[in-house]
């Protein structure tokens, strides 16, 4: 087990959130360093070594802005490391509720999401899920010619495959899933008579 950058940034932030006390942060760094030695990568080791000196006295204090910028940088990098690439071991996809809202299929928590990485984490159960709002997701839309209130969407998620959604009045009434583009087009044709040439790629 290694101590990930994400976990480290979270623990570090919790220290700052308790109020900026350089001595306490120094002793937290000291404790963490010796407690987790062997589970730390070189970079985190160096960060902790830098923070440990805060314990030595006021002359070693760093301005709050500097500490806070470091926490933010580590949080951002930790997040990218954690959810930046599609996880092949996970098959669950967060439900796209539209307008930047997602729902966890496992615990039904919903939340507002602006993360565009391949994965997201449910804020309630902490499960990693594929992100339907990922910047790598591709989407096609088709408007029905004869059913005016109906709209169809195909979404492609790397690693997972193709999803077909049908909406009536913007309410999703149907979902299907296929491995290939040919099969999902076939589904749209068989279930809704959506012809292949009606699909337009969303930009």
- From 50-58, 89-97, 100-108, 162-170, span contacting Zn ion (CB under 5 A): 100-108
With respect to Zn ion, which residue has the nearer C-beta, 31 or 91? 91
Q: Where are the alpha helices (DSSP H) in the chain?
A: 5-17, 22-36, 42-52, 64-83, 181-192
Sites for Zn ion among residues 127-166 (CB under 5 A): none
Q: Which residue in the block uniquely carries the two structure tokens 């539209």?
A: 98
With respect to Zn ion, which residue has the nearer C-beta, 56 or 125? 125
Q: Are 97 and 103 in contact (CB under 8 A)?
A: yes
Q: Are 45 and 51 in contact (CB under 8 A)?
A: no
Q: How far is the CB of 149 from Zn ion (least distance, A)?
A: 32
Q: How far is the CB of 77 from Zn ion (least distance, A)?
A: 24
With respect to Zn ion, which residue has the nearer C-beta, 122 or 194? 122
Q: Which of 14, 56, 69, 125 binds Zn ion (CB under 5 A)?
A: 125
With respect to Zn ion, which residue has the nearer C-beta, 15 or 121? 121
Q: Are 158 and 138 in contact (CB under 8 A)?
A: no
Cα separation, 144 vs 177, in Å, equals 20
Cα separation, 29 vs 37, in Å, equals 11
Q: Which long-range contacts (CB under 8 A, 24 or more apart) does 183-191 make?
A: 184/154, 185/154, 188/142, 188/152, 188/154, 188/164, 191/164, 191/166
Q: How far is the CB of 182 from Zn ion (least distance, A)?
A: 33
Q: For residue 105, state whether it binds Zn ion (rule: CB under 5 A).
A: no
Give the interface size with Zn ion as a residue count (CB under 5 A): 7
Cα separation, 48 vs 195, in Å, equals 60
Q: For residue 107, state whether it binds Zn ion (rule: CB under 5 A).
A: yes
- From 21-29, 61-69, 96-104, 149-157, span contacting Zn ion (CB under 5 A): 96-104
Q: For residue 104, state whether it binds Zn ion (rule: CB under 5 A).
A: yes
With respect to Zn ion, which residue has the nearer C-beta, 67 or 94? 94
For Zn ion, the binding residues (CB under 5 A) are 104, 106-107, 109, 122, 124-125
């Amino acid at each position: 087990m290694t101590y990930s950058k994400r976990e480290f940034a979270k623990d570090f932030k919790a220290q700052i959130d308790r109020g900026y006390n350089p001595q306490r942060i120094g002793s937290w760094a000291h404790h963490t360093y010796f407690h987790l030695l062997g589970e730390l990568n070189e970079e985190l080791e160096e960060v902790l070594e830098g923070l440990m000196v805060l314990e030595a006295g006021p002359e070693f204090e760093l301005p709050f802005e500097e500490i806070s910028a470091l926490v933010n940088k580590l949080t951002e990098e930790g997040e990218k490391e954690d959810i930046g690439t599609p996880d092949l071991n996970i098959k669950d996809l967060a439900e796209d509720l539209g307008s930047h809202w997602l729902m966890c299929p496992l615990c039904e928590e919903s939340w507002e999401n602006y993360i565009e990485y391949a994965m997201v984490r449910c804020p309630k159960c902490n499960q990693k899920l594929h992100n339907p709002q990922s910047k790598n997701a591709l989407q096609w839309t088709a408007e029905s010619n004869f059913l005016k209130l109906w709209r169809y969407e195909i979404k492609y998620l790397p690693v997972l495959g193709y999803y077909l959604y049908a909406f009536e009045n913007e309410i999703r009434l149907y979902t299907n899933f296929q491995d290939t583009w040919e099969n999902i087009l076939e589904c749209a044709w068989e279930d809704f008579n959506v012809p292949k040439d009606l699909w337009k790629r969303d930009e």
